Structure 1
Amino acid sequence: MPGWIRKNMPQREEVARNRWLRPVAHRVLRSELWRFTRRSVPRGVALGVVVGILVPVAQTIVAAFLALPFRANVPVAAVTTFLTNPLTTPPLWVAAYYLGSWMLKFDSMTPDTEVTRQAHGWISDWLAWLLSNAAPATVTGLVTLALVCAVIGYFLSALGWRIWIARKWRRRQHCRTCRSH
C-alpha cells in the first residue's frame, strides 16, 4: 500500500506543469502545503474524503484548490480522494440513498405524489428523478456520509500520527539507552 500511495501521490513538479493549476501554482506549491505535519495531514484526509464523496469529477484538482484555504496537505488530500473509485462508488451511492431516505422519512410518505405523476408525463427522466424522492435522499445521504467519514478520517489520521510519533520517540529513547550501556 505505501508503494501505491508513493507512486500515485502527486509530486510538486507535476502540479507545476498542470495547465489547470498553472495560474495558481505559486499558491498551491507553497512548501507548508506539502509538508507532513500533525495538523496538515488530518486536514488533508478530511478534505480528501469530502471531495472524494461529494465531487464527481476532477477530484484531485478540486482537493488541491481547497487545500489552500484549509491549509491542508495537498498530496494527502489528493490521494485520499481515491477513496471513491469505480468499485466503491456504487455501494456508497446506494448506502447514501438508504441513509437519506431514512433521515428524510420518505418511507412514511406516499411514493406517487401529484408532482411526480405530472413530471413523468411531460418532463425528461432526469427532471422526473430530481422531483422524485431519490435525488433529495441521495444528496442528503452523500452529504451526511461525507461529513461523518471526514470526521472519522480526521481523528483516525490524527491518532495514527500520534502513535507513529510516539513509536519514533520510544525507538529513539531505546537507542539512547542501548548506546549508554
Structure 2
Amino acid sequence: MSSRIVRWFRDNAPKRETFENSRILAPVAHRVLAPELWRFTRRSVPRGVALGLLVGIFLLVPGIQIAGAALFALPFRANIPIAAAMTFLSNPATTPLILWASVYIGNWTLGRNADISRFMTLVHEHAGIGEWCGWLFSEAAPALLFGLTVISVAAAVVGYFAADWMWKLHLGRRWKARQRQD
C-alpha cells in the first residue's frame, strides 16, 4: 500500500521543471528553484509536512493553500512538493469536520456560543463581500478563526514530529539492511 502511495506521489507531485517554464515565477525563479527546496532530506521533509498542514488547515481555500505552502516553504527551507501535498489533507471530505471542530474548540476556549450554520449558508449561497464582512464581525468568526489556529498549529507540530520519526525509522531500516549485507 505505501509503495503505491509513494509511486502515485512521485508521478503526480509538481516537478522542478514545471516551475522552470512558468512566466509567473520568472522574477523569483532563482529562489523557488533552489535545489535544496526540492530534495528529500532529513530536515526539509518534516518542515514541509508541518508547513503544508499549517497552511492547508488554516486557509481552507483550494489553490491558495498550495501556493501559500510553497511560499512559506521558501524562508523555512522546507521541501516544496511535500508542503504542497500536505495541503490536500483538507479536502471536501474533511473540511466540514475541520470547520465543526474549529468552532467547537473556539466556543469552548473563548466562552462563546457561535453556530457554524451561518458560515455554511454564506458558502452555499455564494455571498457577497458585504455579507462576509457582516459575518466576520459576528459571534462565529472569532471562534472559527481561533479554532482553526489551534487545530492547524497542533496538526503542524504533530506532523513535524511524526515525519521526523518516520524519517529516522526509514534511515534505521536502511542502515540495518546495509549492515546485514556486509
Q: Could you say which TM-score interval applies, normalised by the shorter chain?
A: 0.7 to 0.9
**Matches of 1:21 and 1:85, distance apart in 2:** 26
In 2, Cα distance between the equivalents of 1:53 and 1:21? 25
Q: Could you tell me how far apart the structure 1 residues matched to 2:11 and 2:77 are? A: 23
Q: Name stretches of at least 5 consecutive residues in structure 2 with no aligned partner.
A: 114-129
Normalised TM-score (structure 1): 0.83
Distance (whole Å) between structure 2 residues aligned to residue 59 and residue 22 of structure 1: 21
Aligned to 2:126: none
Amino acid paired to 2:6: P
Identical counterparts, % of pairs: 51
Q: How many residues align?
A: 161
User: Which one of 131, 134, 139 corresponds to residue 137 of structure 2?
Assistant: 131
| Residue aligning to 1:96 | 102
Match of 2:38 in 1: 34
Cα distance in 2 for residues equivalent to 1:13 and 1:51 = 24
Task: With the length of structure 2 as denominator, give the TM-score of the two structures.
Answer: 0.83
1:47 corresponds to which of 23, 43, 51 = 51
Please report how far the alpha carbon of residue 168 of structure 1 lies from its aligned counterpart in structure 2 after TM superposition.
0.1
SS in 2 for 1:106: coil
Deviation, 1:170, is 0.2
- For residue 163 of structure 1, the aligned residue among 160, 169, 178 is 169
- Over the aligned positions, Cα root-mean-square deviation in angstroms equals 1.6
- The 1-side partners of 2:96 and 2:10 are apart by 27
Deviating beyond 3 angstroms after TM superposition, the runs of 4 or more aligned structure 1 residues are none
Q: What displacement does 1:25 show?
A: 1.3
Structure 1 position 26, deviation (Å)? 1.2
Aligned to 2:111: 105
Q: Distance in 2 between matches of 1:45 and 1:74?
A: 9
- Residues 8, 79 of structure 1: 8 Å contact kept: no
1:53 CA displacement? 1.2
Aligned-pair CA distance for 1:136: 0.5
Alpha carbons 1:46, 1:153 under 8 Å: kept: yes
Partner residue of 2:19? 15
**CA shift for structure 1 position 93:** 0.9
- State the partner residue of 2:118: none
Query: Does the residue aligned with 2:170 lie in a helix, a strand or coil?
Result: helix
**2:181 counterpart of 1:175:** yes
